Amino acid sequence: MFYKYLFVLVFFVTEISSAQLKSIQRNELYQYEGTYDFGNGQRITLGIFDELNQSLVYLDLKTLKIGVLIPVSSNTFRDMNDSTKTFAFTSKNSQIDGLEIVEHTIRSSGKRVAPHQVESISFQSGKNIIKGDLYLPQGEGKHPVVVFAHGSGPSTRGVGFFTTFFLQLGIGVLTFDKQGAGESTGDWETASFDELANDLVAGVKFLNGQKNINQKKIGIMGNSQGGWTGSMAASKIKDLAFMVMRVGSGENVRQTISHEYKGSLIADGFDPAAIQEIMKMYHDNWELAANGKTWQEGNQQITSYKHKDWFKKVYPTERTPTESALKWWAWLNKNLGYDSFTYLKTIQSPTLWLMGEKDWNINSQKSYPKIKSALQLAHNNDFTVSIVPNMAHNGMVAKSGYYNEPLSFEYAAGFWDRLEKWLIDRKIGKR
């Protein structure tokens, strides 16, 4: 269940035909990434989102509507959720310079703004080679850069409109394939959070060696699991310029996955008595993993509940020690004890930590006071911790936030505008 949400929009995966999304190669999609200004305060920013088979995902920064673009023909796409809404990219001198949107016969034209350049990069992190992309605003000068700390799962470099949002504020982005995913070596399934944090530290070190980077304005943006790895990395980096966190937990890993599992059980319709029993089963199982017991010992503990009425619903097929199951067991042993508090209480970099009110992946309400307390202990003089109303873990407006709630395809108000203002107020970003 912990990998039920890999990133911001992973729910889309179940709603799109993979055949539709594979008709354009990644290298061809780079040219469309960016931000398009339609006037009257409307900007649409879009980028490649790898977890959707490298499709383009857009965010309307005015209406907060989001969507996936399905290729129709050369330079033309349609909105996955509205076949009458088309996106046609225009070009001049073989360069994409605009975007025309037609929706129910209404046509609007946007001009491409905040041009950027992107290059493939690689750097060493321990025994691993980490590969990714470095996006920088076009033009001379030294640019601020944010290093992206991924959420759980085999996340790779394409993080959609997060990249282009920063670029339109004049901030570069270093985003890379998590170790063992994409083109990076290693194994994300068994890596400890400390190892993943070291990848971020290595990324910052790489940036410090680049001549067109403002070394005094390098920061970290963490998402979900990146709340742990990002804060760990920040605690290891001297003079980190800033840290931004989105739906990162202020609790330890065990508390966080407990919250997530409970939310999934509620969403699946289990009654309160069954949920209590199931959660005890999980906690006892995690305790065995944390204490170095074998998967077989853990499985014996799990199957001691097989006489329960709910057991077949939780485990419809027989549990076997597959490679994935054994890696998950090893992951639990390495990572259950990690707690953001341990690292946050040492961080003095300016920090913005935004969580969602309707989040069933992390417990925002319990995380809020812990994050504030840790940063106060650090004597951090510039931090903001806030819970965005009606926001689920995926960033969208939600009623319950359960994993099976229908998508609203609308980002929650109070996230992007707050992030932009925070960056501009600190002279990290600019309009």
More confident of the two residues 150 and 6: 150
pLDDT band with cut points at 50, 70 and 90 for residue 24: confident
In a domain, 226, yes or no: no
Distance CA 182, CA 299 (A): 32
pLDDT at residue 105, rounded to an integer: 87
pLDDT higher than threshold 50 for residue 113: yes
In a domain, 167, yes or no: no
Give the pLDDT confidence of 25-46 residue by residue, as tens digits: 778 999 999 999 999 999 999 9
Distance CA 68, CA 59 (A): 9
**195, 179 Cβ separation under 8 angstroms:** yes
pLDDT at residue 119, rounded to an integer: 96
pLDDT at residue 222, rounded to an integer: 96
Last residue of a domain, one of 56, 90, 113: 113
Mean pLDDT of 412-417: 98
In a domain, 19, yes or no: yes
Residue 60 structural domain: 10-113
In a domain, 239, yes or no: no
In a domain, 165, yes or no: no
Mean pLDDT of 376-383: 98
pLDDT at residue 54, rounded to an integer: 86
pLDDT band with cut points at 50, 70 and 90 for residue 21: very low
- Averaged confidence pLDDT in the chain: 93
In a domain, 242, yes or no: no
Question: What is the residue-wise DSSP string for 8-68?
Answer: TTGGGGGGS-HHHHTSS-HHHHGGG-EEEEEETTEEEEEEEEGGGTSEEEEEETTT-BEEE
Distance CA 187, CA 180 (A): 4
Domain count for the chain: 2
Question: What is the residue-wise DSSP string for 158-218?
Answer: -BTHHHHHHHTTT-EEEEEPPTTSTT--S-TTT--HHHHHHHHHHHHHHHHT-TTEEEEEE
Residue indicated by tokens 């959720």: 81
Last residue of a domain, one of 303, 335, 367: 335
What are the φ/ψ torsions at residue 325 (nearest 5 degrees)? -65, -40
Mean pLDDT of 129-145: 95
More confident of the two residues 110 and 26: 110
pLDDT higher than threshold 60 for residue 98: yes
Angle between helices 272-290 and 295-303 (to 10 degrees): 160
pLDDT higher than threshold 90 for residue 367: yes
- Token pair for 18: 């993979």
pLDDT at residue 13, rounded to an integer: 41
pLDDT band with cut points at 50, 70 and 90 for residue 52: confident
**CATH number of 46's domain:** 2.40.128.50
pLDDT band with cut points at 50, 70 and 90 for residue 23: low
pLDDT higher than threshold 60 for residue 14: no
Residue indicated by tokens 């990395």: 233
Distance CA 72, CA 55 (A): 13
In a domain, 318, yes or no: yes
Give the per-residue SS3 of 189-200: CCCCHHHHHHHH
Residue indicated by tokens 């709340």: 227
Residue indicated by tokens 């009458």: 84
Distance CA 257, CA 88 (A): 42
Give the pLDDT confidence of 300-354 residue by residue, as tens digits: 999 999 999 999 999 999 999 999 999 999 999 999 999 989 999 999 999 999 9
Last residue of a domain, one of 95, 113, 131: 113
